[in-house]
Chain A
Amino acid sequence: MQLRVRALETVLAEKGYIDPAALDLIIEAYETKVGPHNGARVVAKAWSDPAFKRALIEDASKAVVALGLLNRIGDHLIAVENTPKLHNMIVCTLCSCYPWEVLGLPPVWYKSAPYRSRAVNDPRGVLADFGVTLPPGTDIRVWDSTAETRFIVLPMRPAGTAGWSEDKLAALVTRDSMIGTGLPKNPNEVA
């Protein structure tokens, strides 16, 4: 594929459509700047600041921009909150829609046939693949990203983290916990 993609890139550059120097910067940005650490900051802030959490649930695009972590963010970001009675999970059954600005590029499994096929009819089975079992009595809500709205899960703040700084809280927030296929880390893992 290396040669085939290089051929395509050369044609598009020679045609004047693209600038190879810009391509390198895009690749670098996705490798280094855009990633789930951004989402983790958002979650840690929501755990620490009730007013921010309300704003996030009300309009996540607006709230995240106001946080100033990213220079710009898309218009249609929606935060969905986990509670002791409800666990949220995000999928795109039709392609690979994913909140890039806050989570970076999606992992291979998110784009894979097993996840896309099963998330909507067997989310507990999917969770088992990730080694996650929800407490009895927890309902599941799956959000299929079939339009340009994008979803991020606001996981529950782990017990035993009273008084923690946002930086320390952010270290508990895993990518998968913001997709809904995982839970935040145990405080013992980062303390």
Chain B
Amino acid sequence: MDGIHDMGGMHGFGKVEPEKDEPVFHAAWEGHVLALQRAMRYADAFTIDQSRAAIEELPPDVYLSSSYYKRWALKLENLVVALGLAGTDEIKTGHALRPGKTLKRKLNAADVPNSLTRGSFARPAQAPARFKAGDRVRTKNIHPVTHTRLPRYARGRVGVVEAIRGCHVFPDTVAIGKGEHPQWLYTVLFEARELWGENADASLKVSIEAFEPYLEPA
């Protein structure tokens, strides 16, 4: 979706302000939100792209005015309700009022060390790769109202395939419960002038990781 989360190239957000000696978490609840997310993902309650889509669907004013982990907390509340894993009445009262559903597995303390690694998103190829390194490609001019990983600034632009990264779960379908539909993934490199116009920095190149359905020959 063309949401506020798709920030590449926007103006007006000001300077980057690194925090000196930044703590891992700025409040205890932030750690709990992170851990809840990890534990629910381990249970396969939702996919990473369902999770991202739920953040993208927060109202833009809420997105911009909430801290990172607050966004995660709001997203988790919305997602467990949307998936029927808990009711708004339960979240409001802070207690389960009905039994839970059965999830794939449950993260126990003993499993935590091995749960810290991301799972693989690579899948067997469904077809030969359409492009190879060195091919000129144009990204499609698409504006799906649902989740996509093709950023706005890189739509309808000509770039060069730099590398093939294997065949991966396709975010655009898995996010809306329509299956993994594995797609070839490419690193596609653009001149800054192709993305930002003739006055752009000639010494700058930007790449995206593009799934094959985002691309056509150029």
Residues of chain A having any CB pair with chain B under 8 Å:
1-2, 4-12, 14-19, 21-27, 29-31, 34-35, 70-76, 91, 93-96, 100-101, 104-105, 107-109, 111-124, 126, 129-130, 138-149, 176, 181
Name the residue in B7, B96, B111 with the highest tally of chain A Cβ atoms < 10 Å from its Cβ: B7
Task: Identify the 5 closest CB pairs spanning chains A and B, nearest first.
Answer: A15-B100, A7-B94, A93-B8, A14-B96, A147-B209
B interface residues with partner A (beta carbon < 8 Å): 5-11, 13-19, 22, 24-29, 31-36, 38-40, 43, 45, 48, 52, 55, 64, 67-70, 73, 76-77, 80, 85-86, 90-96, 99-101, 103, 106-109, 111-122, 149-151, 153-154, 165-166, 168-169, 171, 185, 187, 192, 195-196, 200-201, 203-211
Task: Known A7-B91, A21-B109, A74-B117; judge A144-B151 contact (CB<8 A).
Answer: yes
Find chain B residues with CB under 8 A from A7 CB: 91-94
Complex contact B118–A129 (CB within 8 A): no
Judging by beta carbons under 8 Å apart, are B68 and A149 in contact? no
Are A1 and B151 neighbours in the complex by a CB distance under 8 Å?
no
Q: Given contacts A73-B117, A148-B169, list 11 more A-B pairs with CB under 8 A.
A: A7-B93, A11-B86, A12-B40, A15-B90, A18-B36, A26-B39, A27-B35, A116-B8, A117-B8, A120-B8, A147-B211
Closest-CB distance, A69 to chain B (whole angstroms): 13
Question: How far apart are A123's CB and chain B's nearest CB, in angstroms?
Answer: 7
- Chain B residues with CB under 8 Å of A30's CB are 24, 31, 34
- Within 8 Å CB of B68, what residues of A? 96, 108, 111
**Are B33 and A5 closer than 8 Å at their CB atoms?**
yes
